[in-house]
Chains A and B, each alone.
Chain A
Amino acid sequence: MALDDRKSHFTFVGTRPNRPDGLDKVTGRARFGADVTAPGMLFGAILRSPHAHARIVRIDTSKAEAHRDVKAVVTRADFADVPFKPGLEGEFWNVLENVMAGEKALYDGHAVAAVAASSALAARDALKLIEVEYEVLPHVTDVDKAMAPDAPVIREGAADYSVPEGMHPNVVRYHESGHGDVEAGFAEADLVIEDHFVTEATHQGYIEPHACLASLGADGKGELWCCTQGHWIVQKTCAALLGIETAQLRVTASEIGGGFGGKTTVFIEPVALALSRKANRPVKIVMSRSEVLRATGPTASASMDVKIGMKKDGTITAAQGVFRLQGGAFPGAPGDMTAMCAFAPYNLTNVRQVGYDVMSNRPKQAAYRAPGAPMGAFAVESVIDELCKKLGLDPVEVRLKNAVREGTKASYGPTYDRIGLVETLEAAKAHPHYSAPLKPGQGRGVACGFWFNHGGETSVSLALSEDGSAQLMVGTPDIGGSRASMALMAAEVLGIPYENIRVTIADTATLGYNDVSHGSRVTYASGLATIKAAQHAVEKLCERAAAKWGIPVDAVKWENGCAVPSGPNAGDFDPLPLAEITADMGRTGGPISGHFEATPEGAGVSFGTHIVDAEVDPETGKTSITRYTVIQDAGKAIHPAYVEGQFQGGAAQGIGWALNEEYIYGEDGRLQNPVFLDYRIPVASDLPMIDTVIVEVPNPGHPFGVRGVGETGIVPPLAAIANAVSNAAGVRMRQLPMSPPRILAALKGNG
């Protein structure tokens, strides 16, 4: 147990022990989505549309079915005509339509049929035997063009009540919020800047492709193994799509090789189940990288207009933003989130924000770390940087001057509880990075970012063993080190060593419902539930001690892993260690467990401030990030190394998004770069060492003060990097990614 960096009243929380999954992962023993097999297993493969938008006139699967190695072929017909829960609605219908196309193929890569065969090669070859007749339709992949009057309609009637009359049917949700009088505010300003910003869609880029092994019998009972951020939503969704009862499908989450929000839904899982049901054999499906990029959810692309007014002293007088987000051929682009987060760091008297959710012929967008927030921050923080530059003001001072604090009314409505934005800005100002000299050709950028964080449905069980060790069952897949942080929190309550606690991600049959690992919720919500479950077990331990000593239970308290009399009047008994109580538990009342379930509401919002130095080669437009510092409020860092990892990961993905990652569509509506050679995520040598500062302003909604840290870290990078690059190049970059051709063109256009 590493206690050398202990500096608080906590014993275990705040230390940096080795990760419990470390040995498995470095030795290859960890089992990821594609690592399991079953007796008699078949291999599934999915036929995908080569067209961006096409009516499916006819699918002839007879030749594939006649292939000697093929055991099942499925199309949409194998999902729609279900005896149970007919007529799927809402998001279930959208997911079904996405996992297997109905009347139309809606994007390049949209699944139209699938086969299961006795080998992966046979399955791949059998796809070529399926004949699909398409009637190709006009398509649109750009958000602004998708909103234009002459745009092809993706689907009539997809819009909800929020959309104002007269908008194109591709606009499916509308958000508007704010307060004050922005026009009056702009009139008070000494300088008003309004600009247009564009970001391209990027993929979460998890290294592990989607993979699953499914088995579903004619009795409606199924087993599913898959890599996912949340297996209860997989259970619920697959059961609905296949018309079986939820409890009859047992889903186990594999070890996961990255998700970042992209594995919070299903793609291949219902298909594998349908194939298995038809073939009466287990079916495994593993996506290729091209399938991942073409057919799983990237983030939304955005077109944005932001207008901000500022006084000469740096006071923001008014702010207004219009955020149009394209989320593929289904409702769901987080235009509302973009709008609500965009101005959230600032105390504004007058603010108005509008968000659009727009459909186009692209894959259904999926969550990606703080969905929607990074784009809005890019636009807003760029305009603030430009205002600071034109007014000769320090960008950190201006942000401090306008920063939200406890009691400030947020741009999106509520009043903030205790928050840590000011602390991150003060830390930025004091950090040596902020005052370090820049070399010629370099520029510095800063930006702030905000994310709500989330609680969500949570259930945790803890069971004590006779030898005094503990097993903890949580339902949130470990995507960021949560097994380590759960063990630390349980150790803190139980008073037993971290190493004596084994944390398992329980399957859907062994624990109550848990929401997915998203919304930066796991350390907060599963952590809170872990603490409460451990306290529940401690109550029982105290009861056993009280019974042994023959004193009332309220005369016993728990201290350093032992039951002790609560005071001198309670009696004179030696401390009774946990292991001594559990050794006898079979004879003193039976097994001792703790349990907790709730939907905690006090997640606590989170803010961060990033400082970036960039160097631009003026002859080629190539950018290198020379220095990067992340400062973020973690509330309380349970395992600081993992918190730093989250900060660094957000910065790394932000660097990719800002500089080179993008979905590139051809005139034909096909994705041009569905491989990692041309979808350019950063390689290790592209990144500088990323410095981190953990600010700890405790969240009053968590027993130990935790705020989620997984998402806020990707909110400031786009803006901070754009500000650094713009300052280095001497020309404002308003379009992402800031790829070398775009920067060189801007430099040439500038003179």
Chain B
Amino acid sequence: MEPKEFLDELKTLFVTRLKFEPRRVADVGFETALPKGVEGSVGLDSLDFIELGIAIEERFGIVIDESQDLAEHFASFGTLCRFIAERVKTP
């Protein structure tokens, strides 16, 4: 999968699982931040991140190790796409 395809898949999850309005995620890019409180972010809180983790595991068939600090990977759409891509490649 190309990076752009990962981004599109994530956008779909934001709509289906995180209940975002489709137009709210239409114009996000790799640089768009995720966590609440960061400027220009989509404003995810702790519960959103758990939901997003479950959704990613289901969609991409990967397992996310929660004992790790995941904050850097869940910082933006770009870091998250890279995180998923690495794990999809090396099962």
Q: Please indicate whether A and B come from the same complex rather than being unrelated chains.
A: no
| Interface, chain B (partner A; CB < 8 A) | none
| Interface, chain A (partner B; CB < 8 A) | none
